[in-house]
Amino acid sequence: MPAGFGKSARVHWRRMPGRAWEVLRREGWSSLWFHVLGETIYRRMVLLERPLNEPIPEARADIAVEVSLLRHGEIDEYAAFHPGLDEAEIRGRIERGGKCFVSRHEGSIVNACWTAEGSVWIEYLGRSVQFAADEVYVYNNYTDPRFRGRNVSMVRAEAMLRHFRELGYRRMMAVVVPENKAAFRSPDKAGYRPIGVIGCIRIGPWRWELMGGRRAGRRWRDGMGSGLRHR
């Protein structure tokens, strides 16, 4: 992938005044400042961890839910369920070793979430992040709007945690945009907690990759020390 932010970071200048006013009205000046930076030169995300040696509470939904791994023969069904992904992207994720956990109600997919391992491309930041061999990156949690608020994602999250704990992994990892307060709710309920920040600064052809926080109680990859890259 090229340097810079991913396709989701393209600036839509005509919409920016209206968006800026909405952010200012709802979230204040501080949040607006980071939104502006995010549209131009700087993006960052909160890094979350969920240790697998901690208890995994039982989750219950108010409808009958069954959790399973998405199979190749179900790709077209998933593409119809998730409007933001096409079959080629879904197939590519699976071929690269990704796993998709799906929750079904009466045979239909109502929630899904992906996992990946090793070096993972994060579109919002326009950069890759290298995870350890005993870590699993969790992303793209999506629930059918008709079934939101019914705890189906928590049932899937529990099954996912138990699956990787039984395989001997140490912890699950996720990232969340700091200004998206609602996005913290599901990880928080599943036992995730913030441990650091990852980000990227882009100025013309130059790019700095940033990572800082705590891993197992110790400092790791001090902020600006993560490198300067040229496009």
pLDDT for the residue 153: 97
Those residues of the chain that have pLDDT short of 50 are: 1-5, 7-14, 16-21, 23-25, 28-29, 32-34, 36, 38, 215-231
Rounded distance between C-alpha atoms, residue 94 and residue 9, angstroms: 25
pLDDT in tens, 71-91: 999 999 999 999 889 999 999
pLDDT of residue 214: 53
pLDDT of amino acid 68: 98
**Geometric angle at alpha carbon 18, from 181 and 203, rounded to 5°:** 75
pLDDT tens digit sequence for 140-178: 999 999 999 999 999 999 999 999 999 999 999 999 998
Class of domain 7-230: alpha beta
Query: CB within 8 A of 47, min separation 6: which ones?
Result: 173, 174, 175, 194, 195, 196, 197, 198, 211, 213
Instruction: Fill in the DSSP letter of residue 25.
Output: H
The reported pLDDT for the residue numbered 200 is 86
Pairing of strands 42-51, 171-176: antiparallel
